[in-house]
């Protein structure tokens, strides 16, 4: 059983300097209230692992504007001019990772695999400095798992056992990140009593979830 | 499908419309297709409504439909560019691992992407201009490495500079020979012998194509005109 | 759109000698009617990739009894004495694979990864003849993907677009195998019109599915 | 929970009951636990009904409950041994990739497995006897490699032959030091210094334990008796 906590309490759990996996794709499926609470508490030096930097004023964009991020591992930052400026100014260090490789590196961390072996990135700047494995005559990159100290997850519905459901394109990185955070904090739109979500509808089993955010007052 | 557009005489078509109409012909019923943002996303406008094509948005939906009517948008149903979309009957929500599993695993029949450069090897560069534009590769590298067919939809040259070049000077997206280049001037198929000129654009001569192409093109016999509009 | 076909028609598609991924765990979640049709058509020399050999008279056990299998890649055969006898008699060649490695090798094939990098099997007979990769001081086996010519899938519900839902412990290997068969044949308990299964309830998107078996008459 | 069993005096307990009762004490509320088939599966009988423990069956359910009443079995809800079970409120269906993702990824708090041999390094052999029994490892290798705690529940010796040995002669299940051995005679903790004798079985002397153990045991000070029943 997970007691729902307030966003301010959840934000207190995340120390400066933490590696934080954050769900969302262009701000869709991102835990906005959790991010607001992190900005309010003035968190600093986060390493944020996410698909993208969203837009200024939305989702991860708010953390960028607040100067809370010192390092980002993302597949795309092109729609957030602010993070690009900070990158050029040397304020944010950015590792760009192909989207499919990014989600598999997070999954590998979550499911206990030692690496991801993918052809994506071969012959491109992504290959630089990485081990190459030849398997049956084809070349692959060995890409390392990405663990998070925290995973900040947006879900559509949770029960008090922590079981989660997601909606449409708000799934994106959320179900995978829920596997890979040492502490998993979930912001559901709705929390229902245990027993209400049918077992077959559960996409993230509750055993992975540490904290649920209480409904907005 | 926009009847006005479909009926418009080709003389009045923009370069982008020519490209989008020609790419649409590559798409067959039942295919799973990913359209990149920008010009490639226009391709969907030129398919019949009952085409039986499944569009995938890499952010997590198969069976993507058109923009919803005003007031019926769902903040949880967007395309990869963040725009509101609808879900067709038979649509499926997928997470990013499944989405890229389909892409990398060869389940995607076709991707249509924009291009900055394509070279004689058929290699594509479309994700960065060092020192200028570093937006990140997003899903492009997986799409080019994994899709069954990769169609590059782009205007033929940029401000007088050729985009179809002997060898890409920009960082590659993948070391994979793409399937087809469609521009407003030409349809070009990269083969293991080089870039084969397949079709000319409407009212375009072979000389006009060669003049805007720095790569060597293979011109083999008669080169028919695109049949669009 | 997928037209539902009869099991006999589906069985004709599977040639002797094919590599066949078959869903199920001790016979739960196995496409029984498809297997009956394969036995009836007298298929031979199959390589069967599955979690286990079930029991005689059930699921894959029927293929074993019919002498249809010449090679098996499985994690467990202990509850089927018949396949053990055939193994000892040299009639069936068996590759034993740890269950978690087996499902990831099938997944790797389905999602286009070059290998699975896992610590499972290190220091055991599973390690023999395999490449070992050292990553950050820890040793891992490099395990190769397993593709199937066919995947034979049991589902609870399908629509005519091929979208699938599964039930409880009848999920097991089915959703993963549906990714990795060049031809995917599904035996659903129920087929509903397109549009009836909500997008969020789909576990296998229909684009992966080639054939549905029609309801029993 | 079976009241008759819970109330039975320990003198009348079978070896297996002693083991199952003692292992049950290792399980704490909220844990995610996998019980192997056979003896380990008996452990669930000795937990209070409201223990808040989640049992995982590796074939795909979290929140496994007891066998259903006759006539209420569901052919799609079984444990890893194929026996009918129920789902507790809050249960989740998972596929094999998720099931073993949880196991290998360190999300499983404890697994309880049977054993053929455990050695002084704390290594377990429990899946094959060359030339005799080759059933396949099933999920055992992943469970031992991945679970946070691995508890081996087994009778102390087999037909007079020691199972706790200097070095396993049977093929290993994993090169991982397991967490605890529970037999009817002893509770033994593998440490980096060797096998530490933690507890004696009911009315069992240290000499009796040593006589049935071929591995070196570390006996450090007083060794208390198990507190069960």
Q: Is B58 a catalytic site residue? A: yes
| Any domain includes A149 | yes
Chains touching chain A, criterion 3+ CB pairs below 8 Å: B, C, D
**Coil vs helix vs strand at B192:** coil
Determine the pLDDT at residue B10. 59
**Percentage of chain B lying above the pLDDT 90 cut:** 79
Q: Contact at 8 Å (CB) between C181 and C151? A: yes
Segment (H or E) for C62: helix C60-65
Among chain B residues, the shortest Cα distance to C2 is held by B30
Tokens of A190: 């709705």
Q: What is the pLDDT of residue A130?
A: 97
> What pLDDT is attached to residue B1?
33
C194 vs B61, B90, B101: nearest CB: B90
Closest CA to C24 of D7, D201, B109, D95: D95
Q: What's the CA gap between C174 and D93, in Å, rounded?
A: 13
Alpha helices (H) in B160-220, listed in sequence order: 206-211
Neighbouring chains to C with at least 3 Cβ pairs closer than 8 Å: A, B, D
CB–CB contacts below 8 A, A to D: 60
Give the residue from A162, A163, A207 with the most D CB atoms within 10 Å of its CB, the best one to mutate.
A207
Beta carbons of C176 and D134 less than 8 Å apart: no
Distance of CA D126 to the CA centre of its chain: 12
**Shortest CB distance from B97 goes to which of A84, A87, A176?**
A176
Q: Kindly state the average pLDDT of the residues B55-83.
A: 93
Query: A125 and B100: CB-CB below 8 Å?
Result: no
User: Do the Cβ atoms of C118 and A114 come within 8 Å?
Assistant: yes
| Count, residues in chain B | 229
Mean pLDDT confidence for D30-49: 89
Mean of pLDDT over chain A: 97
What's the pLDDT score for residue A13? 98
Which phi and psi angles does D192 have, rounded to 5°? Answer: -70, -10
Q: Which letter, b or e, does each residue of D59-68 get, where b requires 16 or more Cβ atoms within 10 Å of its Cβ?
A: bbbbbbeeee
Which residue range is the domain that position B71 belongs to? 15-218
d(C-alpha C86, C-alpha C69), whole Å:
10
**For testing the chain D interface, which of C120, C128, C164 should be mutated: the one with the most D CBs within 10 Å?**
C120
Residue B37, pLDDT score: 84
What's residue C158's pLDDT? 98
Bridge partners of residue C164, in order along the sequence = C158, C204
Residues of chain D whose C-beta is under 8 A from some C-beta in C?
Answer: 57-61, 74-82, 87, 93-97, 100-101, 103-104, 123, 128, 133-142, 145-146, 171-175
Average pLDDT over residues C49-74: 97
Contact D96 C172 (CB under 8 A): yes
What pLDDT, on the 0 to 100 scale, is given for residue D49? Answer: 75
CA C120, A139, B99, B83 dihedral sign is: positive
pTM higher than 0.80: yes
A206 contact residues in D (CB cutoff 8 A): 54, 62, 90, 92
Chain B residues lying within 8 Å of A126, measured CB to CB:
137, 141
- The phi-psi region of residue A64 (left if phi > 0; otherwise alpha if psi is between -120 and 50; otherwise beta) is alpha
Distances (CA, A) of A74 to A24, A77, A100, B225, D178: 11, 7, 11, 43, 38
Q: How many domains does chain A have?
A: 1
First to last CA, chain B: 13
- Quote the minimal CA–CA distance from A139 to chain D in Å: 25
CA distance D165 to chain C (A): 18
C78 within a domain of the structure (yes/no): yes
The answer to whether residue C21 is domain-embedded is yes
Question: Cβ of C207 and B102 within 8 Å?
Answer: yes
Q: Do A172 and B137 touch (CB under 8 A)?
A: no
Q: Where are the alpha helices (DSSP H) in chain B?
A: 3-7, 15-24, 96-104, 140-146, 206-211
Residue B206 C-alpha, separation from nearest chain C C-alpha, in angstroms: 40
CB proximity list for D29: less than 8 A, separation 6 or greater: D51, D52, D53
Q: How confident is the model at residue A215 (pLDDT cuts 50, 70, 90)?
A: confident
pLDDT digits (tens, 9 = 90+) for A179-196: 999 999 999 999 999 999
B4: pLDDT strictly greater than 70: no
Contact B226, B200 (CB under 8 A): yes
Residues 138-177 of A with CB under 8 A from C: 138, 140, 142, 144, 165-168
Closest partner CB to A100 (pick from B95, B104, B123): B104
Residue A205 structure tokens? 């089993």
Q: Give the whole-angstrom CA distance, residue D184 versus residue B189.
A: 74
Is residue C86 in a domain? yes
Q: How confident is the model at residue D10 (pLDDT cuts 50, 70, 90)?
A: low
By three-state DSSP, how is residue B87 classified? strand
| Structural domain for C30, as ranges | 7-113+145-212
Write the CB contacts of B205 (distance below 8 Å, at least 6 apart in sequence).
Answer: none
C20 found inside a domain: yes
Residues facing residue B150 across a β-bridge? B111
Decide if pLDDT at D77 tops 70.
yes
Residue C139 lies in a domain: no
Q: Is residue B229 part of a domain?
A: no
Residue A121 domain-assigned (yes or no): no
What tokens does D198 get? 């933690």
Distance between CA atoms of residues A48 and A185, nearest Å: 15
Mean per-residue pLDDT, A131-153: 97
∠ CA B92-B94-B100, rounded to 5°: 125
pLDDT for the residue D4: 34
Quick check: D1 pLDDT over 50?
Answer: no
- CA dist., res. B165 & res. B115, Å (int): 12
SS (H, E, C) chain D: CCHHHHHCCHHHCCHHHHHHHHHHCCCCCCCEEEECCCHHHHHHHHCCCCCCCEEEECCCEEEEECCCCCCCCCCCCECCCCCECEEEEEEEECEHHHHHHHHHCCCCCEEEECCCEEECCCCEECCCECCCECCCCCCHHHHHHHCCEEEEECCCEECCEECEECCCCCCCCECCCCCEEECCCEEEEEECCEEEEEEECCCCCHHHHHHCCCCCEECCCCCCECCCC
Q: Residue B169: which pLDDT band, with cuts at 50, 70 and 90?
A: very high
Q: How many CB pairs under 8 A join A and C?
A: 63
DSSP summary character for residue A34: H
Closest CA to A141 of A124, A123, A125, A118: A118
CA–CA gap between residue B78 and residue B92 (Å, rounded): 13
8 Å CB contact of B107 and C207: yes
d(CA A201, CA A167): 11
Any domain includes D77:
yes
- Which chain C residue lies closest to A134 (C-alpha atoms)? C114
Query: Does the distance separating the beta carbons of D76 and C96 come in below 8 Å?
Result: no
Question: CATH number for the domain including D174?
Answer: 3.40.1080.10
Handedness of CA B129, A100, B44, B213 (dihedral sign): positive
C158: left (phi over 0), alpha (psi -120 to 50) or beta: beta
Which CATH number is C44's domain given? 3.40.1080.10
Answer for the pair A125, B169: CB distance below 8 angstroms, yes or no. Answer: no
CB atoms within 10 A of CB C134: 9
- Whether the CB-CB separation of C113 and A104 falls below 8 Å is answered with yes
Nearest CA distance, A146 vs chain C (angstrom): 13
- Distance between CA atoms of residues A110 and A115, nearest Å: 11
The dihedral built from the CA positions of residue C58, C63, C66 and C72, taken in this order, carries a sign that is: negative
Bridge-based pairing of strands D54-57 and D61-65 is: antiparallel
Domains of chain B: total: 1
| pLDDT above 90 for D185 | yes
DSSP state of A58: S
CA distance B19 to chain A (A): 25
**CA atoms within 13 A of residue D32's CA, in its CB half-sphere:** 27
Closest C-alpha among C136, D54, D149 to residue A147: C136
Please, what is the angle between helix A99-111 and helix D96-104, to 10°? 60
Nearest to C188 by CA among C150, C151, C158: C158
Q: Are C162 and C212 in contact (CB under 8 A)?
A: yes
CB spacing of B138 vs A76 below 8 angstroms? yes
CB contact under 8 A, C79 and D82: yes
C-alpha–C-alpha distance, residues D38 and D36, integer Å: 7
Whether residue B125 contacts residue B163, with contact meaning beta carbons closer than 8 Å, is answered with: no
b/e C181-199 (16+ beta carbons within 10 angstroms → b): bebbbbbbeebeebeebeb
Q: Do A114 and C133 touch (CB under 8 A)?
A: yes
Question: A75 to chain B, minimum CA–CA distance in Å?
Answer: 5
Task: Identify the active-site residue in D17, D26, D58, D184.
Answer: D58
Q: B60 — alpha (psi -120 to 50), left (phi > 0) or beta?
A: left
Answer yes or no: is A60 within a domain: yes
Query: Are the beta carbons of A199 and D92 separated by less than 8 Å?
Result: yes
User: What's the rounded Cα separation, in Å, for the pair A99 and A172?
Assistant: 11
Q: Do D186 and D203 touch, CB atoms closer than 8 A?
A: no
Average pLDDT for residues B108-120, to the nearest whole number? 97
The predicted complex's ipTM stands at 0.96
Query: Looking at beta carbons, which residues of chain A come within 8 Å of C117?
Result: 108, 113-117, 142
- Mean of pLDDT values over D63-69: 92
Q: What is the pLDDT of residue D52?
A: 86
Burial C83-94 (b: 16+ CB within 10 A, else e): bbebbeeeebeb
């Amino acid at each position: 059983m997970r007691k729902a906590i307030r966003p301010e309490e959840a934000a207190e759990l995340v120390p400066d300097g933490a590696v934080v996996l954050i769900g969302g794709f262009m701000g869709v499926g991102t835990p906005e209230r959790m991010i607001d609470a992190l900005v309010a508490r003035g968190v600093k030096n986060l390493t944020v692992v996410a698909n993208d930097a969203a837009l200024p004023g939305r989702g991860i964009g708010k953390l960028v504007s607040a100067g809370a991020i010192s390092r980002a591992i993302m597949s795309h930052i092109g729609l957030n001019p602010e993070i690009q400026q900070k990158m050029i100014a040397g304020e944010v260090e950015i590792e760009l990772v192909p989207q499919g490789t990014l989600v598999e590196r997070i999954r590998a961390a979550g499911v206990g695999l030692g690496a991801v072996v993918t052809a994506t990135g071969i012959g491109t700047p992504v290959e630089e400095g990485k081990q190459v494995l030849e398997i049956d005559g084809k070349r692959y990159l060995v890409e390392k798992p990405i663990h998070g100290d925290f995973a900040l997850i947006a879900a559509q519905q949770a029960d008090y056992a922590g079981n989660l459901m997601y909606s449409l394109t708000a799934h994106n990185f959320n179900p995978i990140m829920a596997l890979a955070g040492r502490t998993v904090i979930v912001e559901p739109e709705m929390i229902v009593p245990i027993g209400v979500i049918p077992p077959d509808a559960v996409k993230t089993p509750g055993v992975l979830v540490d904290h649920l955010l209480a409904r907005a007052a | 499908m926009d009847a006005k557009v479909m009926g418009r005489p080709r003389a009045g078509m923009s370069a982008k419309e020519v490209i989008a109409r020609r790419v649409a012909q590559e798409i067959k019923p039942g295919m799973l297709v990913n359209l990149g943002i920008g010009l490639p996303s226009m391709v969907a406008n030129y398919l019949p409504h009952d085409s039986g094509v499944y569009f995938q948005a890499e952010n997590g939906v198969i069976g993507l439909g058109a923009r919803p009517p005003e007031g019926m948008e769902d903040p949880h149903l967007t395309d990869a560019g963040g725009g509101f979309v609808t879900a067709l009957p038979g649509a499926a929500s997928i997470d990013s691992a499944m989405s890229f599993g389909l892409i990398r695993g060869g389940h995607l029949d076709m991707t249509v992407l924009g291009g900055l450069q394509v070279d004689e090897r058929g290699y594509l560069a479309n994700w960065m201009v060092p020192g200028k534009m570093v937006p990140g590769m997003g899903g492009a590298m997986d799409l080019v490495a994994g899709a069954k067919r990769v169609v590059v939809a782009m205007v033929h040259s940029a401000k007088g500079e050729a985009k179809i070049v002997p060898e890409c000077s920009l960082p590659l997206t993948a070391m994979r020979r793409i399937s087809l280049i469609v521009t407003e001037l030409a349809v070009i198929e990269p083969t293991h012998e080089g870039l084969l000129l397949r079709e000319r654009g409407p009212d375009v001569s072979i000389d006009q194509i060669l003049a805007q192409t720095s790569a060597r093109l293979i011109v083999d016999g008669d080169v028919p005109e695109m049949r669009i509009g």
